[in-house]
Amino acid sequence: MRFVVLDGSQVAGGTINMKNSKGFTLIEVLVAALIIMLGVTGYVTLQSVYIKSDAKTNQRSVAMQLAQEKLEELRSFTAIQAAPGEFAFADIADNAGGTIASGDVDVSLTEDADRVYTFNRTWDVTSQYYVDTDADGQPDSWLNSGDANLPAVLPPWPAQKQVTVTVTWSDPQGESHSVALQASLAPVTQAASYQAINESDNAKASPTVSYTPGLAPDVIAYDLGDNQKVETSKPVPEVTKQGDNTQVQFETVKYIELPDDVTKLEQEDFLTVDCECKIAGTGSGATPHMTILVDGELMVQPGEMISKTTGVPASDKQPALCTQCCRDHHDTVTMVSNEEHYRAEDGAPHKHYLNDGAGNFSLASSVGDAYNEACRFKRVNGLFQLYPDWQLLDIIEFDDQYLFGDGKLSAYTNYTESLISKRIQGLTSPAKPADRDITVAPGAYQMIARGVYLDRMKSEHKQQVLDKIADGDESWKAITPFYDINLTLLANWSTQVPEVASITQETIQTLVDPANNYYGTYSRGRLEALSQGTSTVAVNAYPHNAGITGGKALSPVEYSGVIIDNSVTVEVDPKTAIEKYWGIIGDINCTLVVGGATQACELNNNKKADYVDLATMQITASPEHFACTITIPKGNATPFFSCDDVSEKWTGSLTFTFSKPDYGVTMQIQYPDNSVVESNQLTLSEGLSATSNREYNLILTLTK
């Protein structure tokens, strides 16, 4: 049967003219109807998925607010000991403390006003004491209340209380969900705590804050469009060493830069810590908080508590965040498929290993098995929350004067932005700037290593970035979570020909003054040009969290995936073939003897009576053909003197002059044969044939 739509021209003498008829067959109509039905069904299904996803996000947001509300209240105690009419630190216990009670809370969401969701809020409190466990008279470990190693007599209140607020609920499909927030509460009221005041609601509502951008080569700013820029706020990350554990912390700042004003818009605080853990078995652990894109803005999606493999710290002598790190830093197949995981390896949940330090790994798979771990945290609403692992795209090296050259900074940021863009697109990485080789005279020079990191993005987030890149829209950078970090003191350095040029690789320590003298506590990347010739400088870092802490690789995959830059060549040129010039670099070993007791000199704290100001020391060369300088690093690193441009033909003496009121001064010179002569003059009877690196040293003794 055929249905025909007619017009007047198609009817002639009562007969339908079929030759020019126009219309649709029944089959065509049915096919069209089927296509429309399938399209509408798909649209309705898609809308349903979006609605469910949006509702789940909103429910999780409410749960986070309920947990945060309770934590804020628990922080607001006004007394330490229990007192009538006051909320005291002593009142805080499991599901106790404050006026907000534990139990069910009914909430109506604005987009689903006809439905009431029930959230259940509870909290657990663990009292912790910092005590002496090795009988040396100094506290060294955090122990929980009830631990068998606690002393018989405890203080009147614990040093801190570890609080975990958990909120659980069921979604419309009947699935159970939960979120948990943790905090450490010290027995200090908000009125007496600078930190507490600045984490209060009043502080969060503070006026706009002016910001002073940093300077290259230690701080690199990126243009995000609309006069907005982003950069790390400090020259190097803050490094804290606690026993065998390393904590590395830094901030990134987004700011708007106008001709007469620079205003901070947003600050992100990150902390990365390495830990020693052991498998605890199946339990309740959190998925990571993550950066997601919502309505064109980068937002934080909270993690949730699920059942999975968990861990515990292998010892108590570790940073407090290791408890959360060991417990939560485990993935499941579902987490990987949902793109809500910490780190996937070969497309599967990452495994855990014990690294012996020589590249040998033992798989930790059974309860009690020990393993190495490193975790990345971000501060969210005042609390550090576990985040997906760092992802290093590339590491690049250059000397500390490179970015001051004409066009060098622009060339560097063009390279890093191209690197990020191409990696997102799945294209081959661009070539590094090719003009970083250096020719130097003998002496000491600081090298810089920078790491470019890109956070893993969910598929829909990544697609929106790709769309902007494809359209040539430079604002793709504003919705891309990337980071440019100074890794100089955390990466691993070496040179191809150490006899020509060596490079420092000192043990990582706590940085005493990361804001002002950031290369002073311990040295990495200080190139020491020694003799004529050519060498290659190499720097490397592991691609994930271990690369930030400078620790051991966490798995065979990470170990084999180390990222290296060995593209800088250094040529040591002693100026001319007729007359060569070298350097003299020597340590200054300073000791203080007071009342017969010997101690190291206090070189950095000028408020102490026994402070020794080595900067007042004079070094005079005779004959006077060059100058010498003194470097006093922060912390416990050894001070040193350095004389540059010393001709191979120069012979003579260096005279050291120094005094300190009320102290007798004795100087000794240590020579290359390790002989020590009491004198304030270092004498060279023969000219140098290469840079003298710590072969001539000064021993300074002050006696009172």
Please count the CA atoms within 13 angstroms of the CA of 564 that sit on its side-chain side: 12
User: Cα–Cα distance between 390 and 406 in angstroms, integer?
Assistant: 32
Average pLDDT for 194-215 = 47
pLDDT of residue 175: 87
Rounded to an integer, what is the distance from CA 69 to the centroid of its chain? 28
pLDDT of residue 23: 60
Cβ contact 426:468 at 8 Å: no
Cβ contact 591:700 at 8 Å: yes
List b or e across 307-326, with b for residues whose CB sees 16 or more CB atoms inside 10 angstroms: ebbbbebbebbbbbbbbbbb
For residues 577 and 372, the model is more confident at 372
Q: How many CB atoms lie within 10 A of CB 353?
A: 25
User: Cα–Cα distance between 291 and 293 in angstroms, integer?
Assistant: 7
Query: Cα-Cα-Cα-Cα dihedral of 394, 553, 184, 145, to 10°?
Result: 180
Res. 257 pLDDT band, cuts 50 70 90: confident
- Vertex 685, ends 683 and 686: CA angle to 5°? 125
Average pLDDT for 526-551 = 95
User: Cα–Cα distance between 354 and 373 in angstroms, integer?
Assistant: 9
Res. 213 pLDDT band, cuts 50 70 90: confident
Whether residue 542 has pLDDT greater than 60: yes
Cβ contact 539:525 at 8 Å: yes
Least confident of 23-32, 85-94, 363-372, 652-661: 23-32
pLDDT of residue 207: 43
Average pLDDT for 130-138 = 69
The residue with tokens 């250094």 is 570
Reduced to 3 DSSP states, what percent helix, strand and coil does the chain have, rounded to the nearest 5? 20, 40, 40
User: Cα–Cα distance between 169 and 58 in angstroms, integer?
Assistant: 12
Return the amino acid letter for 137.
G
Stretch (H or E) spanning 246: strand 245-258
Least confident of 67-81, 89-103, 668-682: 67-81
pLDDT of residue 492: 97
Q: Which of 455, 153, 405 is nearest to 288 (CA)?
A: 455
Res. 630 pLDDT band, cuts 50 70 90: very high
Res. 279 pLDDT band, cuts 50 70 90: very high
Structure-block tokens of residue 7:
């017009």
The fraction of the chain above a pLDDT of 70, given in percent, is 86
Q: Which domains does the chain have, with CATH numbers?
A: 1-148+157-197 (no CATH), 392-416+428-454+476-572 (no CATH), 581-703 (2.60.40)
Q: Which of 263, 186, 203, 204 is nearest to 228 (CA)?
A: 263
Cβ contact 703:593 at 8 Å: yes
Return the amino acid letter for 422.
K
DSSP, res 428? P
**Of the ranges 186-190, 497-501, 573-577, the best mean pLDDT one:** 497-501
Return the amino acid letter for 221.
A
Whether residue 19 has pLDDT greater than 70: no
Res. 199 pLDDT band, cuts 50 70 90: very low
Give the mean pLDDT of the chain: 86
Whether residue 36 has pLDDT greater than 70: no
User: Cα–Cα distance between 586 and 592 in angstroms, integer?
Assistant: 20
Res. 53 pLDDT band, cuts 50 70 90: very low
- Beta carbons within 8 Å of 289's beta carbon, 6+ residues apart: 300, 301, 302, 303, 378, 380, 385, 386, 387
The answer, as to whether pTM is greater than 0.75, is: no
CA distances, 437 to each of 491, 497, 504, 566, 569 (Å): 19, 15, 19, 11, 5
Whether residue 308 has pLDDT greater than 80: yes
CA distances, 356 to each of 246, 389, 546, 555 (Å): 17, 22, 15, 11
Average pLDDT for 78-97 = 87
Residue 31 falls in which region: left (phi positive, over 0), alpha (psi -120 to 50) or beta:
alpha
- Vertex 531, ends 652 and 650: CA angle to 5°? 15
User: Cα–Cα distance between 40 and 566 in angstroms, integer?
Assistant: 58
- Beta carbons within 8 Å of 666's beta carbon, 6+ residues apart: 678, 700, 701, 702, 703
Res. 42 pLDDT band, cuts 50 70 90: low
Max alpha carbon distance in the chain (Å)? 135
Average pLDDT for 558-570 = 97
Q: What is the pLDDT of residues 156-195, one digit of tens each?
A: 778 889 999 999 999 888 889 998 888 888 876 654 443 3
pLDDT of residue 200: 34
Whether residue 610 has pLDDT greater than 90: no
User: Cα–Cα distance between 89 and 161 in angstroms, integer?
Assistant: 9
Least confident of 59-73, 240-254, 331-345: 59-73
Please count the CA atoms within 13 angstroms of the CA of 384 that sit on its side-chain side: 20
349 prior amide bond cis, ω within 30: no
Beta strands in 259-391 (DSSP E): 261-286, 290-294, 297-301, 305-313, 344-345, 348-349, 353-355, 361-363, 370-380, 383-387
pLDDT of residue 62: 87
Sign of the Cα pseudo-torsion (203, 208, 212, 214, in order): positive
3-class SS letters over 387-401: ECCCCEEEEEEEECC
For residues 546 and 5, the model is more confident at 546
Q: What is the pLDDT of residues 405-464, one digit of tens each?
A: 889 999 999 999 999 999 999 999 999 999 999 999 888 889 999 999 999 999 999 999
Cβ contact 131:91 at 8 Å: no
Whether residue 51 has pLDDT greater than 70: no
For residues 176 and 155, the model is more confident at 176
Stretch (H or E) spanning 177: strand 176-185
Sign of the Cα pseudo-torsion (390, 396, 401, 407, in order): negative
